[in-house]
Copies of this chain bind each other. A is one copy, B any other.
C-alpha cells in the first residue's frame, strides 16, 4: 500500500516531455517569449536545468513542440464539413486567433521552415483545394501562397505584440503607429501617409481575412 501510494506520487512528480511542454506554454503565455529559459523552466518544475535535456533535445525542439501543440488544438476544431471556401477561411481564422491569444506562436512559426506546425496548416489548407476545383499541378502553388500569407501576418502580428507594453491595448498601439506614419516624409511615403488614417481604425482580424479572400478570389479567377 505504502508502495503504491509512493509510486503514484512519484508518477505525479516525475518529469516528462508532456509536463515540460505544458510548463513551457504556461510561461510563454503568462510572461512572454523572453521569460522562457531553462532556468525558469527548471525552477517551475522544481528540478535542475540539466534534467530537461533528458526529455527534450534542446530549446528549438522545445519551442517547435509547444508551437505544434498549441496550434493543433485550433486546427482540429474549425474547418470540418463546411464548404471549401469557408473551410479555408476557418483554418486561417483559427491560426489568427491562436496567435492573437499566444503571440509567441507567431514568432515561432517563421523561425524554422516546414516545421510540424507549418505542415499542419499546409495540409489543412491544401486539402480544400481539390474541392475548390484547382488543378493538381497548381495546388502546391495555391497552398503555398495561402500558407506564406498566413505566416507573414503571423510574424508581423507577433512582433507587434512583443513590443506592446503588457497592459496597453492594440488600438493604442495602432494609434501610435498611425501617428508615426503621418510624420513620414511626404515625398518618399505618399502612399503610407494616405492610408495612415485607415491603420488607426482598422481591425486586424478583418484585414487578415480580406487578404485570404483576395487570394481565394485569385484562385477562383485563374482556374
Whether B218 pairs with A141 at a CB distance below 8 angstroms is no
In the complex, A119 has a CB within 8 A of chain B: yes
- Contact between A195 and B152 (Cβ–Cβ < 8 Å)? no
Are A191 and B111 within 8 A (Cβ)?
no
User: Does any Cβ of B come within 8 Å of A63's Cβ?
Assistant: no
Tell me which residues across on chain B come within 8 A of A73, comparing CB atoms. Answer: none
Count residues of A near B (Cβ-Cβ below 8 Å): 62
Interface centre among A142, A145, A222 (most CB of B within 10 A): A145
A122, A142, A221, most chain B CB atoms within 10 A: A221
Q: A195 with B139: in contact, given A148-B211, A216-B218 (CB under 8 Å)?
A: yes
Contacts of A110 in B (CB 8 A): 110, 152, 155-156, 159
Q: Give this chain's copy count.
A: 2
* A139 / chain B contacts, CB cutoff of 8 Å: 191, 194-195
By the criterion CB–CB under 8 Å, are A145 and B211 in contact? yes
Query: With A141-B210, A215-B214 as given contacts, are A127 and B159 in contact (CB-CB < 8 Å)?
Result: no
Could you say which residues of chain B place their CB within 8 Å of the CB of A160? 113-114
User: How far apart sit A221 and B181, CA to CA, in the bound complex (Å)?
Assistant: 30
Q: Is A166 an interface residue (CB 8 A)?
A: no
CB<8 Å pairs between A and B, sample of 15: A111-B159, A113-B160, A118-B156, A123-B191, A127-B191, A136-B194, A137-B198, A140-B207, A145-B210, A147-B152, A148-B152, A148-B156, A150-B152, A152-B155, A214-B215
Interface, chain A (partner B; CB < 8 A) = 110-114, 118-119, 122-123, 126-127, 129, 136-137, 139-145, 147-157, 159-160, 163, 177, 180-181, 184, 188-192, 194-195, 198-199, 202, 207, 210-211, 213-222
